[in-house]
Amino acid sequence: MAESLVSLALFLSLLFSCLASSSMGAKPISSLIRKKLFDTMFLHKDDNACPAKNFYPYKAFIRAAKTFPKFGTTGSLSTRKREIAAFLAQISHETTGGWATAPDGPFAWGLCFKEEINPQSNYCDSTNKQWPCFPGKSYHGRGPIQLSWNYNYGPAGKALGFDGLRNPEIVANNSVIAFKSALWFWMTETRGTLSCHNVMVGKYVPTEADIAANRTAGYGLVTNIINGGLECGIPNDPRVNDRIGFFKRYTNLFNVTTGPDLDCAFQKPL
């Protein structure tokens, strides 16, 4: 009986130890990116020159991230930092207000815009019957990732609790939903394991078609997922270089390496 009690006590001790270790390993991303670092990355987002002034506060980003508990909490410390840097770099390019000779450099002007300027269309794919466009609505780029098209607004709204087809404007009117929409796109898997998140944390498993198309895991593949149809398969594309420039600045601030395959110049677009 005494031996059984000792064994039980040992088992419980090991169990609590494992649980404690698990909890320690799942610290929130606010422990990795504090407000001071966030503000250093986005030096000019609240300047008068930026149309999105005061729309992207740190608290909204942290609050939105809680909806996606695997974001920035998966893998080693370096992997976690690299994923956060990659996400922030991509949304910085999508919303940049920088230029070559901008104060503090072109990569200090992320999150300057919250809505696409002068959209060329209403981004309605009328052939998509699952997510039909609502009359009079435009599905142009909004929010940090510049969410576009009815087939993205519809499922994003369903996942996040808003009507993306009837009220797409909320992505440019609500800071938390704006960040959530970007994180939804980042985390959502398509074609098996393909997602920005899985690529950055090492969980992407390329298909035979991916291998044939040279779609190797790295920051370049994230660019391919986000806008590969327009930017990938083009050597030295300035838009891709801009994305890489933000990523290099942010990984330097995080004191981590960028990892391999930064561009998608020789990848077939998705």
CB atoms within 10 A of CB 52: 21
**For position 244, which CATH number holds?**
1.10.530.10
* Domain assignment of residue 179, yes or no: no
User: Which residues form the domain of 160?
Assistant: 115-173
Residue 204 C-beta-side C-alpha neighbours within 13 Å? 26
**How confident is the model over 200-223, as a mean pLDDT?**
97
Same domain, 155 and 232: no
My answer on whether 134 and 108 are in the same domain is no
Q: Please give the backbone phi and psi of residue 133, each rounded to the nearest 5 degrees, phi first.
A: -70, 145
Examine the domain organization and report whether 94 and 222 are in the same domain: yes
Name the band, by pLDDT with cuts 50, 70 and 90, for residue 17.
very low
Residues 120 and 43 in one domain: no
Q: Which of 17-26, 30-39, 60-69, 151-160 has the lowest mean pLDDT?
A: 17-26
CA distance 239 to 251: 19
Q: Does residue 181 sit within a domain?
A: no
Classify residue 184: in a domain, yes or no.
no
**In a shared domain, residues 30 and 78:** yes
Report field, pTM of the whole predicted structure over 0.85: yes
17 lies in some domain:
no
- The mean predicted confidence, pLDDT, of the chain is 92
Is the pLDDT confidence value at 20 over 70? no
**Same domain (yes/no): 159, 205:** no
In this structure, what token pair is assigned to residue 188? 């959502």
Residue 197 lies in a domain: yes
* 8 falls within a domain: no
Q: pLDDT tens digits, residue range 137-195?
A: 999 999 999 999 999 999 999 999 999 999 999 999 999 999 999 999 999 999 889 99
Q: Is 124 within a domain?
A: yes
Active site residues: 94
Q: What is the pLDDT of residue 26?
A: 59
Looking at residue 191, its pLDDT comes to 85
In this predicted model, what pLDDT tens digit does every residue of 97-108 receive, in sequence order?
999 999 999 999
Please state, in angstroms and as integers, the Cα–Cα distance from residue 74 to each residue in 9, 71, 99, 154, following that order: 31, 7, 34, 28
- The total domain count for the chain is 2
- The pLDDT tens digits of the residues spanning 113-137 come to 999 999 999 999 999 999 999 999 9
Query: Is the domain of 103 the same as that of 196?
Result: yes
| 102 and 199 both lie in a single domain | yes
Q: Tell which of 128, 145, 173 closes a domain.
A: 173
Q: Is residue 53 part of a domain?
A: yes
Q: Are residues 62 and 166 in the same domain?
A: no
